[in-house]
Amino acid sequence: MEKTNDKRLTNAALLFVLMIVGVMLAQWWMAPSYSLTNEQVLEKIDQEATLVLPYQLLSLNEAQARETTALFLMEESQLSTPAFKQLLFVPFGEILSDKKLSKLNKNEPILIFGKTETQAMMALQLLVSKGYTQLRAVANDLDVNQQLLTHGFDPATAQTKTEKAAFDYGRFFKTSGGVNKAAGPAAKIPAAVEVVKTAGGCS
Amino acid sequence: MGPLIPQGFVNPDLNLFFAFVIGLGFGYVLEQGGFSNSKKLAGVFYGYDFVVLRVFFTAAITAAIGLLLMSYLGLIEYDMLYINPTFLWSAIVGGVIMGFGFILGGYCPGTSMVGAVIGKIDAMFFVIGMLIGIFIFGSFYDTFMPLYHAADLGSLMVYDSLGIGRDVFVVALTLIALAAFIITRKIENNVNGITDAPKGLFHRSYTAPFAILLALAFLVLFLPDSPSGKWFEKDAKALLEEAAAGKQYISTEEVAYKLLHPTENDLVLVDLRSSDAYSRFSLPAAVNIPLADILKNTSKQRLESSKGKLVLYSYSSTDADQAWLLLRRNGFDNVQVLEGGLNGFFAHFFNEKAGETEKDQANLFSERFKTRAEDAFKTGEAAQKINAKASPVTTIVDIVPPPPGKGGC
């Protein structure tokens, strides 16, 4: 390694690692600010019980409510909610503004009420990606929750959420047989991805 | 991005061509390192030249640290790397034969090819010997096979067999390399009788590269598996802006129109529900990628290679919007969400009270509950549920004598 050619190899190794360091610096400079990776966000929203169903909302006891911040994704709300620690009204489009975020504690329970269930869940997902750890979103749209909190327990809505089949699709919507006009031309997406394993190594 | 063949960047049919090109590069590096000289190579066994050990240690730690950092940056999919299986006995016997040949001839297989290519006669003899060995092994393969396949340990990693973490192992390997560099220099100086060697633990030319490698090895120890935000990802505020404006939605009517006009259909429908729900019903020509699988490599590859505009749907918009946010963050531009999901699509085209049910979700839930309850009582499902929970049970033993000739005790 002390000859010119040996040094060239050492320099090549140095160049290689410096190139990687350069890519890492570029990555840190260019990457948007997130606290969790996309995969971690998916794991969190998929595996944790993030959605509060109507019967769970009704059974929220006073002690729990007093520790929880209710975040309403609207200017104001007439919902007669339990006595939460604090009520915050932030329109959906402004939830990531620094001024609004400063009012939320990353490690305290936050319950999100949206105009729609999907809006509440999107807000939850974005806040999870920013590092908020104890977030839950209220299921269903505002009118359902309005009715629930006004009238109390209703078996028809006790376990509902919008992400459920509302109709018996198969009875009305035939997707096979007949003139399959809707199937269109050749498939535009591969049916699956074949993983090819290759051997390697050198002697 | 990598590994290139499994990820689809390199055609598997060109596998050997790329192996040849890489082999040329590897040979050039070996030659430039002085590895075509058998005296230099054999020096490691006699103590007068440890260049082989140093070069291979440098290569090993550079490759290990490079691999882990490239994996961290998302440039290499670590789990997709092919790991050669370990056959213990053939490794031991092969290692002894190779070591014996290395001392005897001064070459290993790769370096002998390099020596032969630049015209070294001893290297050519070595290559001929190697070819004879290959021929004998091939001819008597069946005889050697029990030994060749003995003690199959699978794709074993050194750090697993030692019971330590991967990153800790890389740091340990770097420190061992550092120790080896210092010790071999002292041995070399003693054997070669060098008394006026420059001061320092090892040669100056190593200092900067090794300091960087060591720093990076420790950095690997503290880095997470991947950065929380990646350079190609979209910023959360930009995503929120799009979502607040409802830019992700495509109307049920546009989807229906395109489904009914195949020549104008540029949509790829992606059903995010479970595979069970998808098998019972789906929109025409839709593919099924459940939400939980949307970020898997295979799913992303399928979506990336799709030729149309991706339209995500689930029962409502909730799951589809979640998937949309994940994909948009991941850099997918051509992705939309079916407004209202399947429920909205159905209500729009099939339900007579479409307008009413769309506006009044509570009413819809109430009707759905009534229908569900009616079915449960009609089919006996409700009774089964109640029976299943009935406890405690008082058991009344009613002994009925068996009919004559039908057993008993």
B275 touching A, CB under 8 A? no
pLDDT of residue B210: 82
Give the alpha-carbon dihedral of B225, B226, B228, B232, to 10 degrees.
-170
Mind telling me how many Å the CA of B171 is from chain A's nearest CA? 15
CA B225-B228-B232 angle, 5° bins: 105
Mind telling me how many Å the CA of A101 is from chain B's nearest CA? 12
Please list the residues that pair with B2 across neighbouring strands.
B76
CB contact under 8 A, A17 and B213: yes
Residues 38-77 of chain B whose Cβ lies under 8 A from any Cβ of chain A: 51, 54-55, 58-59, 62, 65-66, 69-70, 72-73, 75
pLDDT confidence band for B37 (50 / 70 / 90): confident
Mind telling me how many Å the CA of B164 is from chain A's nearest CA? 24
In angstroms, the CA A83 to CA A66 distance is 6
In angstroms, the CA B176 to CA B184 distance is 12
Domains of chain A: 38-151 (3.40.250.10)
List CB contacts (< 8 A) between A165 and chain B. 277, 315, 342-343
* Contact assessment for residue B145 and residue B87, using Cβ atoms and an 8 Å cutoff: no
CB contact under 8 A, A162 and B361: yes
Q: Which residue has the tokens 């910023």?
A: B235
Count Cβ atoms below 10 Å from residue B278 Cβ, excluding itself.
17
B308 touching A, CB under 8 A? yes
Output A79 or B227, whichever has higher pLDDT: B227
Going by DSSP bridges, is the β-strand pair A51-52/A69-72 parallel, antiparallel, or unpaired? Answer: unpaired
In angstroms, the CA B8 to CA A195 distance is 9
Q: Which residue has the tokens 């998937």?
A: B323
List CB contacts (< 8 A) between A153 and chain B. none
List CB contacts (< 8 A) between A162 and chain B. 315-318, 343, 361
Tell me the DSSP string of B130-188. Answer: HHHHHHHHHHTHHHHHHHHTSSEEES--HHHHHT--HHHHHHHHHHHHHHHHHHHHHHH
pTM over 0.80: no
Counting residues of chain B whose pLDDT is more than 90, the rounded percentage is 37
Topology of domain B236-350 in CATH is: Oxidized Rhodanese; domain 1 (3.40.250)
Closest residue in chain A to residue B197, using alpha carbons only: A2
pLDDT of residue B54: 84
Please compute the mean of the pLDDT values over residues A41-45 and round it to a whole number.
93
Closest residue in chain A to residue B281, using alpha carbons only: A170
pLDDT at A93 over 70: yes
Helical residues (DSSP H) of chain A, grouped into ranges? 4-30, 38-47, 54-58, 62-67, 98-101, 117-129, 142-151, 169-172
The tokens for B256 are 């229906």
Mind telling me how many Å the CA of B257 is from chain A's nearest CA? 10
The tokens for A188 are 């535009």
Residues 6+ away with beta carbon under 8 Å from B91: none
CATH 3.40.250.10 range(s) for chain B read: 236-350
CB contact under 8 A, A143 and B360: yes
For residue range B136-169, what is the model confidence (pLDDT) as tens digits?
Answer: 999 999 999 999 998 898 888 889 889 999 999 9
CB contact under 8 A, B262 and A182: yes
Closest residue in chain A to residue B94, using alpha carbons only: A203
Q: Which of B18, B21, B17 is nearest to B2 (CA)?
A: B18
Residues 6+ away with beta carbon under 8 Å from B142: none
Give the alpha-carbon dihedral of B288, B292, B296, B300, to 10 degrees.
50
